Amino acid sequence: MLGLKKSDLRLYLIVLALLIFAPFLLNPFPDTSGLAQFNAGYPDLMQKLIIFGLFAVGFNILFGLTGYLSFGHAAFLGVGSYAGVWMFKLLTMNVVPALIVSTLTAGVFALLIGFISLRRSGIYFSILTLAFAQMSYSLAYSVLTPITGGETGLQLSLDDPRIIGISRTESGNIPVPHFFGLEMNSATTIDFGAWSFTFSAGYYFAAVIFAVAFFLTIRLFRSPFGLMLRAVKSNQSRMSYTGLNSRPYALAAFVISGMYAGLAGGLMVAMDPLAGAERMLWTASGEVVLMTILGGAGTLIGPVLGAGVIAYLESIISTINENVLHQWFGGLPDWAENTLVTVVEPFVGEGWHLTLGAVFMLVVIFLPGGIVQAGRLIARFFRRNRGEVGALSGEPERRPGE
């Protein structure tokens, strides 16, 4: 079905189910609930999960398949964002042209950077991509201010010379991005007792884009081209001995990966039409590296899981402050409460990066394959236990495929 193997189809259906039911799974708790303190940026959190999941999936095509580690991938995210906002300013507020131009612009930019950077490999390639990203950030922040808006960022205005559509609404406001009339900020709320479920048009639009992109990623992973990319990662010397030049394959992977990043940048401005130079910083490139490694580089679902964990940790842990900690440990003796608050406080709020660093360190040390490896170990444990139970009951242990 859909040209996918049974295992890939099962994975794809799981991803689709998660996309559909995410508004229920991540719905905020009622304000009267004690768990309301764990509510985080809904529905913006779900849109962020989709966008950074797409960014990480695209990065994984380069890093997971070819082994080339780029420290400058945020440059394509920023270029895609700028291109999308300019489409809103000059052409139309419909998100389709903006997404197309964001993807193509990032692809052309990736072609230029990749053509130069891929002349080197290993750490030298990583340093080159980092240098290009920092150069892009500096240009966007200062020299290209008329195009990028400088430190204030590129944003819409009431004087935009938009060719298709209006420059201002009847109420005098700036029109919002839409998909053939369906506004991205529109939402429907359904109350069910103390619970309120919000269904955002922007989230489901981004989810459809992600579903298509993830399907294409599966096909790419299982294609002969994907096998060639794995060969690039495995041993380029052997490829050269057989007469194959690995650079065109690596460059194609670099461009495709950059186009995914540009699409993610276009989705960012489709939800919030503002583009800033900070999206090109090396820290943004580092985040996508963490997402991919944390989830499991080279796997299909790993980068999505890594992006979800990091985005959720940021949204939840960054909102915890000293008062919340005192509520948590309020039932303990004063000395124990104060001690625990003192120990835990540096890891929450603005120090949430310490928690992320600790989680990443534990994963790298004990689970080099990331979250996906943890899932495989758990599944193997239950399969082994089922085999032991079958042996005790006189039933033969079944092998995979039997």
pLDDT of residue 217: 95
Average pLDDT over residues 185-213: 83
Give me the domain span that covers residue 11. Answer: 6-281
Question: Can you tell me the mean pLDDT for 157-178?
Answer: 87
Query: Among residues of the chain, what percentage have pLDDT more than 90?
Result: 45
List pLDDT tens digits, range 347-384: 888 888 888 888 888 888 888 888 898 888 888 888 88
Residue type, 91: L
pLDDT attached to residue 69: 93
Is 354 inside any structural domain? no
Q: Tell me what the mean pLDDT of segment 257-264 comes to.
A: 96
The answer to whether position 307 is within a domain reads no
Asked whether residue 94 is domain-assigned, the answer is yes
Beta bridge partners, 178, equal 94, 183
Show the 3-state SS of the chain: CCCCCHHHHHHHHHHHHHHHHHHHHCCCCCCCCHHHHHCCCCCHHHHHHHHHHHHHHHHHHHHHHHCCCCCCCHHHHHHHHHHHHHHHHHCCCEHHHHHHHHHHHHHHHHHHHHHHHCCCCCHHHHHHHHHHHHHHHHHHHHHCHHHHCHHHCEECCCCCCCCCCCCCCCCCCCCCCEECCEECCCEEEEEECCEEEEEEHHHHHHHHHHHHHHHHHHHHHHCHHHHHHHHHHHCHHHHHHCCCCCHHHHHHHHHHHHHHHHHHHHHHHHHCCEECHHHHCHHHHHHHHHHHHHHCCCCCCHHHHHHHHHHHHHHHHCCCCHHHHHHHCCCCCHHHHHHHHHHHHHHCHHHHHHHHHHHHHHHHHHCCCHHHHHHHHHHHHHHHHHHHHHHHCCCCCCCCCC
pLDDT given at position 24: 77
Residue 382 located in a structural domain? no
CATH number (domain holding residue 271) = 1.10.3470
155 pLDDT more than 50: yes
Identify the weakest region by mean pLDDT among 25-39, 247-261, 285-299: 25-39
Q: Mean pLDDT, to the nearest integer, of 114-143?
A: 92
CB 294 within 8 A of CB 310: yes
Would residue 342 count as lying in a domain? no
Question: Is the alpha carbon torsion for 314, 311, 365, 233 positive or negative?
Answer: negative
Separation in Å, CA 392 to CA 174, 389, 395:
71, 5, 7
- pLDDT tier, 168 (very low <50, low <70, confident <90, very high otherwise): confident
Q: Please give the C-alpha separations between residue 144 and each of 57, 138, 149, in angstroms, as whole numbers.
A: 30, 9, 8
User: How many domains, the chain?
Assistant: 1
Q: Which sign, positive or negative, has the C-alpha torsion 200, 206, 212, 217?
A: negative
In a domain, 296, yes or no: no
pLDDT-based confidence at residue 402 (cuts at 50, 70, 90): very low
**The pair of three-digit structure tokens given for residue 152, joined into one six-digit string:** 């204030």
Please report whether residue 334 resides in a domain. Answer: no
Q: What is the mean pLDDT of the chain?
A: 86
In a domain, 18, yes or no: yes
pTM of the shown model: 0.89
